[in-house]
Structure 1
């Protein structure tokens, strides 16, 4: 588990950004942790008004993220978890979600927070979920990255607060 090398970034004021979070529903305990981490990051970065949309699974994240991006959100945070099983399903879902979310970001020029855990087992997912005994908080990290990227995109476009 990496967990090291992350930049030391203090939260900045992103209260002017429109932010949506799209979260899968599978693996409830992990997803609750990821979503709570995203909510903590939104609070730390002063984003009070945001939308949360739930989808059935990780495979559905890109299409809903695309719809949200088309509605003018400055950042879309995608949260999901895929745990390896005994079939190639893991690879298909991970590839589809990753490729789809990259496409959304590029097609809409919108910041995408990639909070999709791709783990070999439940324990790895729990370690990254931002729960009280987790070692990492990927929901927080993905949200912070999306907010900072959205701020950079706004600056590049001349839309600074």
Structure 2
């Protein structure tokens, strides 16, 4: 699940084979506060891995109320929705790579 994504990112980062990572997933709200915990902790974990390993990680883990929203935010089919959060996460990771190159 989403709580395992930071560790997967860590495994990838520590191989030194990647210039950037894109984390993808969906957390769908349930009837408990567990949703808030999962969202917060997965985002924090991804950020920590990024900072500790000096690697851009685009966070494409979406937080939604239902499956319909998840499909709308992740589909390449524009009839379902125009927001592809995975694409946006990849673009953010590439932007950070460019920024790092420009700074050096």
Given the two structures, how large is their TM-score scaled by the length of structure 2?
A: 0.88
Partner in structure 1 of residue 59 of structure 2: 114
**20, 24, 31: which one pairs with 1:86?**
31
Instruction: Quote the Cα distance in structure 1 between the aligned partners of 2:70 and 2:86.
Output: 12
Question: Separation in 1 of the partners of 2:44 and 2:20?
Answer: 17
**CA offsets 1:64-117 (integer angstroms, 9 cap, x no match):** 101211222210100010000011221121111100001011111110101010
User: What is the alpha-carbon distance in structure 1 between the residues aligned to residue 102 and residue 76 of structure 2?
Assistant: 34
Instruction: Tell me the secondary structure at the aligned position of residue 82 of structure 1.
Output: strand
Partner of 1:5: none
Determine if the alignment matches structure 1 residue 96 to structure 2 residue 37.
Answer: no
User: How many residues of Structure 1 are paired with residues of Structure 2 in the alignment?
Assistant: 101
How far is 1:131 from its partner? 3.4
Superposition misfits of 4+ residues, deviation over 2 angstroms: none
Paired residue secondary structure (1:86): coil
Match of 1:151 among 82, 98, 102: 98
The residue correspondences of 1:7-22 to structure 2 (distance < 5 A) are none
Question: Any unmatched runs of 5+ in structure 2?
Answer: none
Q: C-alpha distance in 1, partners of 2:13/2:5?
A: 12
Which structure shows the higher helix fraction? 2
Question: Deviations 1:128-159 (Å, cap 9, x if unpaired)?
Answer: 11231222111111101101211222332x3x
2:57 match: secondary structure: strand
